[in-house]
Structure 1
């Protein structure tokens, strides 16, 4: 299969690229800054912004004789540092507007499948969350990313696409001292009932699950919370 990737230069997105290519798939990635993703056989890079529909359209014909059959969206909001208290630097609706743009372009091109990395705490997964997690997310600058993910959730549900929202529990980033092994995740349904404050999911495991959903057509028009 051939995939359109948004957010391929991020920490989860890079694992999505590796997972797809290792399975023999091909991909075209829209990247905002050239050089942020190393070239690989089977990977086509297009420079542009997910906030530009024209740039997204360029990706559909960027790989000769290949048209994406699905999109995987792993864009995330950026802060000045990894600290949850750090000031956000992304536009307030980066995720929602980017996803709306991608969905419109895909629908116009007759491409119906998109898998999106979201986060636990969005939509019906907010109520079952531990109160400590709610307090932490509400009192820190994480709340801005949560708001954008919530807007994205609303945008994608208004489309006619076969979407999947993968709501990751707390993302665990790669340990530079050791290789990160992707593992099968546990799914907790849309609401994430039973999610604990200590639960997390590695970016490698999340990426594997995103690819699995896209390739096998899992959880169509559904949200699903995941944890390791």
Structure 2
């Protein structure tokens, strides 16, 4: 299959690239900084902004092969990894990028869109442990959550065949490829403080969802099995 990747230079996105290419798929990645992701066999890299429809369309048409699906792993940025660091990206960065992607994809006859969200967004908020809710509400993580909430609401109004994947707390040990356990959109009251999702396992799961056409127009929570 042939994919459009948005967010390919992020910690999850880089692993999605590696997983796709290892499986023999091809992709076009739209990135803002070409130095962060060199082109390689099976991967075409286009410079541009996910907020500019013309740039997204340039990536969609960059190769003769038609895009089958888009994997969206963009996230908001803070000035540092500290949860108290100032937000760098604008308030609707994710929501606007998701809308631009949906419009550009549909304009080219492509409907499949797999989006990485977060546990706590939308109807999963009440299912989070209270400590997690306090942390997300007290720190500047709340700005990212607010943006994810807008995506959660607005993507449902598009005609795309979207899937929202909400991982629990991410772990960045890339050597650990865990299997993902799938919960419903609310977490079924089963989310715990000890839950985590290793990014390598998450990346493989995102590729699986996109390749196999799973959970179309559904929202799911995932964690390490």
CA drift of 1:83 comes to 1.1
Q: 3-state SS of the aligned residue for 2:197? A: strand
1:138 maps to what in 2?
137
RMSD: 0.8
Asked if 1 retains the 8 angstrom alpha-carbon contact of 2:117 and 2:164, the reply is: yes
Residue 2 of structure 1 pairs with residue 2 of structure 2 = yes
- Counterpart position of 1:41: 41
Q: Which residue of 1 aligns with 2:158?
A: 159
Provide TM-score, normalisation by structure 1: 0.96
Task: Give the match for residue 216 of structure 2.
Answer: 220
Cα distance in structure 1, aligned partners of 2:98 and 2:141 = 19
Question: Which shifted more, 78-87 or 136-145?
Answer: 78-87
Task: Deviation per CA, 1:100-157: give whole Å up to 9, x if none.
Answer: 0000011111101000000000111011111111000000000000000000111210
Count of equivalent residues: 223
TM-score, normalization by structure 2: 0.97
The question of 1:197 aligning with 2:193 is answered: yes
Higher helix share: 2
- Secondary structure of 1:163's partner? strand
Q: Residue in 2 aligned with 1:182?
A: 177
Q: Which aligned pairs between 1:1-228 and structure 2 lie closer than 5 A?
A: 1-63=1-63, 65-174=64-173, 180-193=175-188, 194-228=190-224
Give the CA deviation at 1:73: 0.1
Deviations 1:169-226 (A, max 9, x none): 011123xxxx513221111111112010121101111111110000001110001000
Pick which of 181-190 and 145-154 moved more: 181-190
Structure 2 runs not aligned, ≥5 long:
none
Distance in 2 between residues matched to 1:72 and 1:55, nearest whole Å: 16
